[in-house]
Amino acid sequence: RKRVAILISGRGSNMSALIDAAKDRAYPAEIVLVVSNRPDAGGLQRATENGIATAVVDHKTYGKNREGFEQALQSVLEQHHIDIVCLAGFMRLLTSWFVSRWTGRMLNIHPALLPAFKGLDTHRRAIEARAEHHGATVHFVVPEMDSGPTIAQGTVPVLPDDTEDDLAKRVLAIEHRIYPLALKLVAAGRVRVEGDHCVIDGDISAEDAAL
Ligand code: GAR
């Protein structure tokens, strides 16, 4: 099984979805490490309760020294012999120095149907734009923010009276389904990057329905 680290900054509900999926012995990845850039991230406790090693690499310790922060991150990942990194609500931009070390081995989840609504406040912006559909995307990380080949996407409707919160909840439920699916496919070696998109080996409709 591939050794996976999850990077978080907050409550870690996507982290929990990945931890739960990986409890199945047949799942091709195990979550061996959770790293937070914030000492107070709620997800850290949940990780510990699940017997998973945790580390805090506090960006504030490094001030403007991004390189120092990323070197510390890299060394904790190396100490734990990590194969795959999953960003799950990790709210720091990573430089190409770090990203290039994890090409094809680092995933991110973004709460929008990329390439629509990169960046922050995606739910509010989707409502303001009167989008009919919204959703979430799991993609490989490249140096450019919220870009990179898409591995999985999940779509939800935007309903007429939706508040930002209503929509966020609906999207989050789909995030918790597509992230475990995407990691499973990557860990099993079933995702091939061809230029700017991914090709998935095999039929995933049955697996998706089972999630
Ligand atoms: C999720 O909705 C995730 O997609 C989003 O933050 C939330 C984290 O929730 N990520 C980003 O906005 C990345 N720029 P969680 O901590 O409960 O998984």
32 touches 3 (CB < 8 A): yes
pTM, 2 dp: 0.97
* Closest C-alpha residue for ligand 1 atom 1: 89
Find the 39 Cα to ligand 1 centroid distance in Å: 17
* 203 band by pLDDT with thresholds 50, 70 and 90: confident
pLDDT in tens, 57-70: 999 999 999 999 99
This complex has an ipTM of 0.99
- DSSP-assigned states of every residue in 26-58: TSSEEEEEEEESSTT-THHHHHHHTT-EEEE--
* Closest C-alpha residue for ligand 1 atom 16: 12
Binding-site residues, in ranges, read: 12-14, 66, 91-94, 108
Q: Which residues of 163-199 are buried (b: 16+ CB within 10 A; e: fewer)?
A: eeeebbebbbebbbbbbbbbbbbbbeeebeeeeeebe
Above pLDDT 70, what percent of the chain?
98
pLDDT in tens, 72-93: 999 999 999 999 999 999 999 9
Q: How confident is the prediction for the chain on average, in pLDDT?
A: 96
In the predicted model, what is the mean pLDDT of residues 196-200?
94
Find the 125 Cα to ligand 1 centroid distance in Å: 16
**Which residues are annotated as catalytic?**
110
Bond before 115 cis per omega within 30 degrees: yes
Q: Which of 9, 34, 175 to mutate to test the pocket of ligand 1 (most atoms within 8 A of CB)?
A: 175
pLDDT in tens, 113-151: 999 999 999 999 999 999 999 999 999 999 999 999 999
* 192 band by pLDDT with thresholds 50, 70 and 90: very high
- Which residue(s) pair with 56 in the sheet? 36
